[in-house]
Amino acid sequence: MRLPRTLAIAALLAAGPTLFAGTVGGKYEPSILRVRVTRQGHDFIRPWQKVPPKQASGKGVVIGPDRILVPGNLLANATLVEVERIGDGTRCEAVVECADYVANLGLIRAKEDAFAKQLKPVGIRTKGKRGDRVTAVQFEPNGTPSISEGRIKTAEVTTPAGASGRFLVYRVSIDLKLGHTGIVPFFRRGKLIGLMVSYDKSGRTATLIPSPVIEHFLADLEDGKYDGFPEAGFGSAAIRDPQLRRYLGMANGDPGVYISQVIPGSAAAKAGMAKGDVLVKLDSYTVNRHGQYDDPEYGPMAISHLIKTRRQVGAPLQCTVRRGEETLELTATLKHLATDEYPVPPYVIGRPPRFVIVGGFVFQELSRQLLGIWGKDWRTKAPRHLTRIDREQWERRQPGERVVILSRVLPTPENIGFENLSFRIVKTVNGKAVNSVRELAEVVEKAGPTQYHTVLFENSSLPELTIKAATLELANRFVSERYRIPHLSQLD
């Protein structure tokens, strides 16, 4: 006797999870999580407050019992991070272990053991090469996995999406069934080979942060202190013009690139490298005229790959340079410049902007984050004197010296007459050069019996600011109350 249809379906549904387990999400499901982030950045126009919170989401890959790999930028200014199972939607709060905003890599871990135990870590494939077949794992909104197959086309050095620096990437030729769905993990033989950060649909090419870079990131963490990707601190340029080559005393086939810039205080500077040197060798590798070395895995590669991804901070780098008639052997100890060591920090994430308000005059430290006030076209839209000091920061400042600006004036009865000044670079306060907001605050506080504090700007066409010391406290109180500002300074 045939079962009535409804009964048959009911029986099927009753079989429930057991029957469908392994199908919702597929075999990768326990290794890939949705990551939901609530982030709240700081307001660089009103540095005493935060901007409204926003939601962001992405994917993470489970690479260890306590480690979930995510894109670093996802964690910027995060106040709450949650991970979620794609299969059944269970959520769990996560803790941020590390975020690298330059390489765009981050590590988080699930807070609850019960949740973490259900996850299945994947290994990381160390070597990918041209021609290798790889698998992209995506998920439809309902959790159904979508698998696409492709091949690694090339390995090259470029700036991947979300990163701010040149890194090794894999270019994969692939037709993603679901198109660009954000970060997509790629696997080869069950192991992670890269995280896709951008996809060119018409060119059918995916760009991945590859496993060597991910492994460098993880290896760096091993000693408990994350140092970052090393830099040598020199800029180089190819020497192709035969007239230039002859001038530098180089024969036709000679190797080497021209050192066009050496950043003060950098590893290269400390090793004694100078602008005008011709760099011919790095460690045992010859540097060809295009700025490449012969990488044992990838063949001719930009030298930045050798420095960044094949070495860790603290490692020595042998640099052979030709200077005039001489050949010099220099040893650079690789380092990673902390953002605070830049005169104009490349980003300010995870901490409030530094500022101090003196009698309604708002002083801040210049950073690219602040320049971001002018939108993504800030390089052309922001005031020229600010973009110039960003571009020429190493010529105009020493390492450790930051740029203090008067960003705006909150009018008070005492400062009226100066209220139209904005975004001006400060040269001295009370006759002293100031290289940080803290220094400025200290100069004002420690001024002996003085009638007036004075601020001079770099622009010689601007007047000197005059701030009457006797009424400063009154003015500060006016600002706090009238403008409802919770705190008048953030010095660190």
Partner 1 sequence: MCTHLLPRGAITALTVLLLGSPLRAADSKALGHALRSVVRIQATTMEPDLRAPWNVGRVQRSTGSGFVIDGNLIMTNAHVVSNARFLGLQRPDSPRITPATVKYIAHDCDLAVLQVEDKDFFKGLEPLAFGTVPQLHSTVATVGFPVGGQRMSVTRGVVSRIEFRPYTHSGLDAHLTIQTDAAINPGNSGGPVVQNGKVVGVAFQTLRASTAQNAAYMIPTPVIQRFLADIKDGRYDGYPELAIGTFRLTNKSARERLGLPMDNYGMLVTDVFPQGSSDGLLKRDDVLLKIDGHPILSDGQIKLEGEMVQMIEVVERKFVGNTVTFTVRRGDQDVTVKVPLKGAWFYRSRARQYDTLPRYLVYAGLVFQPLSLDFMRAYQPKQPPILDAYEFHTNERGYLERPEIVVLSNRLADPVNTHMDRFKMTIVEEVNGRKVGSLRELDNALAQPAERYVFTLKGEGVPLVLEADKVAAAQARIAKQYGIEKDKNIGTAPNEE
Interface contacts to partner 1, rule CB under 8 A: 235, 237, 239-241, 243-244, 246-247, 258, 260-261, 275, 379-380, 384-385, 387-388, 391, 413-418, 451-452, 459-464, 466-468, 471
Q: Which is nearer to partner 1, 55 or 451 (CB)?
A: 451
Give min distance, CB of 309 to partner 1, in A: 25
* Residues 72, 76: Cα–Cα separation, whole Å: 7
* Residues 411, 160: Cα–Cα separation, whole Å: 44
Q: Which is nearer to partner 1, 40 or 471 (CB)?
A: 471
Q: Which is nearer to partner 1, 20 or 247 (CB)?
A: 247
Query: Can you tell me whether residue 394 is helix, strand or coil?
Result: helix
CB-CB neighbours of 371 under 10 Å: 20
Q: Which is nearer to partner 1, 129 or 379 (CB)?
A: 379
Give min distance, CB of 369 to partner 1, in A: 20
In what helix (H) or strand (E) does residue 389 lie, and over which residues does it extend? helix 384-391
DSSP secondary structure string for all residues of 197-226: EEEETTTTEEEEEEHHHHHHHHHHHTTS--
Give min distance, CB of 479 to partner 1, in A: 16
Of the candidates 52, 53, 74, 70, the residue with the CA atom closest to the CA atom of residue 61: 70
Alpha helices in 411-471 (DSSP H): 437-446
DSSP strands (E only) in 65-161: 67-70, 78-85, 91-100, 105-110, 133-139, 145-158
**Residue in the block written with tokens 């060591």:** 341
Rg (CA), the chain: 28
Give min distance, CB of 273 to partner 1, in A: 14
Give min distance, CB of 385 to partner 1, in A: 8
Q: Which is nearer to partner 1, 149 or 464 (CB)?
A: 464
Instruction: Give the bridge partners for 77, in sequence order.
Output: none
* Residues 361, 420: Cα–Cα separation, whole Å: 11
Alpha helices in 21-154 (DSSP H): 113-117
Give min distance, CB of 275 to partner 1, in A: 7
What's the burial of 403, exposed, middle or buried (CB within 10 Å: 0-12/13-18/19+)? buried
Q: Which is nearer to partner 1, 27 or 275 (CB)?
A: 275
Give min distance, CB of 420 to partner 1, in A: 9
Q: Which is nearer to partner 1, 266 or 387 (CB)?
A: 387
Give min distance, CB of 397 to partner 1, in A: 17
Whether the CB-CB separation of 152 and 132 falls below 8 Å is answered with yes
Q: Which is nearer to partner 1, 161 or 274 (CB)?
A: 274
Instruction: State the DSSP code for 72.
Output: G
The residues, any chain, with a CB within 8 Å of residue 60's CB and separated by 6 or more, are 32, 33, 34, 35, 68, 69, 70, 83, 108
Q: Which is nearer to partner 1, 208 or 262 (CB)?
A: 262
Give min distance, CB of 417 to partner 1, in A: 3
Instruction: State the DSSP code for 286.
Output: E
Give min distance, CB of 410 to partner 1, in A: 14
Q: Which is nearer to partner 1, 101 or 361 (CB)?
A: 361
